[in-house]
Structures are given as C-alpha cells and as structure tokens.
Amino acid sequence: MTRRQMIQTGAAFGFGAALSTPAMASKLKVRKTNGEVMETKGPLDEDAELPTNEMSDGKRYRPEYRMGLGGLAAGNGFNTISTDETILGMLDAAWESGVRYFDTSPFYGLSLSERRFGDLLRNKKREDYVLSTKVGRLLTPSAEPLPKKWHWANHSPFHYHYDYTAEGTRRSIEDSLHRMGMASLDIVFIHDLSPQNSDMGKDWTKYYDEAVKGAMPELTKMREEGIIKAWGFGVNTAHAVHKALDVADFDICLLALQYSLLDHQDALERTFPALDERDISVVVGAPLNGGFLAGRNRFNYSPEIPQPMSDKFSQISGIAEKHGIDIKTAALQFAEAPSTVSAIIPGARTKEQIEENVESMKVQIPEAFWAELKAKELIAQNAPVPG
C-alpha cells in the first residue's frame, strides 16, 4: 500500500490503525539517529515514493518532482566550510534517496555550488532530473575575498556585480551551463530583486526596471528557443512577483522565507491567490526557516531568533512529540501540501541530513496533529495540510 493509498483509507490518521496488520507493520518503522541532524520520528512507510506532479499539456511548466534540494549549503553557506568530498557525498545520497530536483545559483559560494552540483549531474541522463539556477549577478575573477558580511566560507575567487540586462542574463546562463557541464536548464529564476536584499534596499526598483526591459523578455525568448523550459523570480519577499504579474509572462517562482509551518499567512492570503489566477506555481525555499525547524540556532539567515517564533517552535514541538512525530517532519510536509506549491527545496550539508529529510516525507502524520494545531491557532485555519 502506498502512502497515498494509506491516507485515502484513513490508515495514517492514528498509529494504532497504521500498525494494525502484520503486513503494514513490516513496512513501517520508527527510526532515530543521533548527531547533528534532528531525529525523524513517526511511522515510516518505506515503500512510499517521493511526491511528484502530474504533467499536463496546455498548462504552465511544473517540475516533475516535488521534493528537491537547495544549493546554498553546497556553496559553503552560513560560513561553514564543507569539503568537495562531503558535498558530493551529500549529493550522491540525495540521488540515491530519489531526489531529482536540484536548485543552485552562481551566487552560492560564487560558483562553488554550481560546480559541485555539476560534478554530480553532468554524468546523469539529462532527462532524469530537473535543474534550476539563477541570474542577476555576473561573476568576475578576483584574488580578494568578499567583505565578511556575506556568508560564504572559502568561496571561489570571484567578485560579482548586478546585471539584469538581456545581455547579462544570457551571459549568466551561458556561464552557468559551462560551470556545470550542461547543455540546457529547466528553470531560471531572476535572483534577489527585493527590498530585503541589503545590497539594494530602496534602490531595488531600479534593478527591477532594468529586469523589465532586459532579463524578463530575454528569458521569455530563451524559453522559446528551448534553452530553458520555464522562468520566474527567486526572492525572499514577493514585491517583485506582484509587480511583474501584469508586465511579464513567467511560469514559476521560488519563494524563500515566505511559506513555512511558522510563517505562512501572507502567502496564503495574498501571494498564492494572485499566482493561482495565472497558473503560476511556487517552489518553496527555506521550508525549515534556514534550519531553525531542524533544530539549528538560527532563524532564516540570522542568528537572531524572534521570540514569537521561538515560542511557536516550542508549542508545536510539544504537540508533535505527543503525536509521536517531530517538528521537522511536520514542517516539510506542511510546506509541500498546497496545490500552488510545485516543489520544496530544503537544504542539506551532509548525507545524514538528506536521508532524514527524505524519510520525513514518508512519515505518516496523524490527522489529529493538524487538527490540534488549528484548534490552538498555531497554523492558519485555511492552511492546506497533508492528505
């Protein structure tokens, strides 16, 4: 019995039901690990496959695979040094675990993430995976490290400058293809057009205007040429997404820090409905709030943890424990549940983190857990939940 069949028959709504037959019990287990990863708790359907999207003609592009991998950690994000061997071991584990959607960016480690992803993917059949990267920054060689405000440890010897012109966009994509050893991309995101970007601040609209005349029509042209299948915005706030709805023909958006178990109301009320009207889907970035929902001592990209988020984490963790699961598992499945969402891309640095994230997608979460969160107003009443 698959995970979907178990949910449809009600087997996932209580642990007694889920373990009621010898055949079912043989396919479910409770797995715990120690070390730097949060334990994955709950009854696990080992035969469950990672979720996919149904491919439909006549609709906008959606990646086939709903469970992906974000590439920030592969660029030594958060000033944490990882060796090529460690990252390639993580990427190999992702592939072996069934992950087939990979998202990266020239900015992550200033080409380091793209190079490492290419080490895994260039030897795979191109039709067997989905790959997305980003445009908006061009890299230039430099022996000087970046200012310490950026969180890349031991990054590649480059600096960057912003370029959202048509020429810069095409060059950025060509550079990425060369770094990764690819002939084509599936998705390209216009990166970091947001007032939250500390480089830009209030001047972000200047770069947005440049992208309206340059990057946006150029990406549409490259989609028509078959170099890419889809394009959109990869942003930490939705300002550019809303501004562009009436001026550009984009397919998909990577929204980071905007839809998670802890913070999702604005996306549900404003952004998702606006995108649904145009059949534009969402890739959820940072579904674990930068590792916070996996037990890390940071919230989003900051070591400063807001007290309301800390309080909500404690409350949800307690309820999860009562129902025999963990908050990371709940967070990943929650982020993947909306119909607007076409994929989630949690990050990982080690193969153990990958394995735990994948197992979290196969845990049977009791319906009563979600009901209790809504009853205690810890998640929105209209928030979609698994099943």
pLDDT of residue 72: 96
Domains of the chain: 52-375 (3.20.20.100)
- Predicted confidence (pLDDT) per residue in 134-153, tens digit: 999 999 999 888 876 667 88
Average pLDDT over residues 201-226: 96
Task: List residues with catalytic annotation.
Answer: 108
Does residue 7 surpass a pLDDT of 90?
A: no
Check residue 143 and give its pLDDT: 85
How many whole angstroms separate alpha carbon 303 and alpha carbon 79? Answer: 12
pLDDT-derived band at 361 (thresholds 50, 70, 90) equals very high
CA atoms of 185 and 122, how far apart (whole Å): 12
pTM (two decimals): 0.90
Residues near 157 by beta carbon (within 8 Å), at least 6 away in sequence: 110, 141, 142, 143
Instruction: Band the pLDDT of 154: cuts 50, 70, 90.
Output: confident
225: tokens are: 């040429």
pLDDT at 173 over 80: yes
Whether the predicted pLDDT of 20 surpasses 60:
no
Cβ count within 10 A of residue 36: 12
Residue 78's pLDDT band (cuts 50, 70, 90): confident
pLDDT reported for residue 234: 98
C-alpha distances (whole Å) from 162 to each of 76, 104, 158, 219, 296 are: 21, 17, 13, 17, 31
Q: How far apart are the first and last CA of the chain?
A: 15
Phi and psi at residue 46, in whole multiples of 5°? -65, -20
